[in-house]
Amino acid sequence: MSFNQLKLKNQLCHRLYMASNSIVRAYREPLNGLNITYTQYIVMMALWEQDKITIAELLEKTAIDGGAMTQILKKMADKRLLEIIKDEKDKRKRLVQLTKQGQALKLEAVNIPNEIGYKFESIDSEQAVKLRQLLDLVVSDLRV
Amino acid sequence: MSFNQLKLKNQLCHRLYMASNSIVRAYREPLNGLNITYTQYIVMMALWEQDKITIAELLEKTAIDGGAMTQILKKMADKRLLEIIKDEKDKRKRLVQLTKQGQALKLEAVNIPNEIGYKFESIDSEQAVKLRQLLDLVVSDLRV
DNA sequence: ACATATTAATTTGCATGCAAAGTATTTGCA
DNA sequence: TGCAAATACTTTGCATGCAAATTAATATGT
| ipTM computed for the complex | 0.92
- Residue A1 has a pLDDT of 54
Fold of the A8-114 domain: Arc Repressor Mutant, subunit A (1.10.10)
Report whether pLDDT(A75) > 80. Answer: yes
For B49, the closest of A7, A19, A128 (CB atoms) is A7
Min Cα distance B91 → chain A (Å) is 28
* Mean pLDDT of all residues in B50-61: 97
Across the A:B interface, residue pairs with CB atoms under 8 Å apart total: 190
pLDDT at B23: 95
Taking the alpha carbons at both ends of chain B, their separation in whole angstroms is 25
Give the mean pLDDT of chain B.
Answer: 93
pLDDT, tens digit (0-9, with 9 covering 90-100), for A90-122: 999 999 999 999 999 999 999 999 999 999 999
Per-residue model confidence (pLDDT) at position A61: 97
Query: Mean per-residue pLDDT for A83-94?
Result: 96
Residue B4: per-residue pLDDT: 74
Give the model's confidence band at A7: pLDDT under 50 very low, under 70 low, under 90 confident, else very high. confident
Cβ pair A138, B24 in contact under 8 A: no
**B59 CB less than 7 Å from any atom of strand D:** no
A82: helix, coil or strand?
strand
Give A60's contacts in chain B (Cβ within 8 Å).
none
Residue B93: what pLDDT? 97
CA distances B85 to A70, A89, B44, B89, B97, Å, are 42, 62, 17, 12, 7
pLDDT for res B48: 97
Cα separation, A72 vs A84, in Å, equals 12
Largest CA distance in chain A: 58
In chain A, domain spans? 8-114
**Span B40-61, mean pLDDT?**
97
CATH 3.40.50.880 fits B3-114, yes or no: no
What is the structure's pLDDT at B7? 74
pLDDT 10s digits, A37-58: 999 999 999 999 999 999 999 9
pLDDT of the residue at A4 = 73
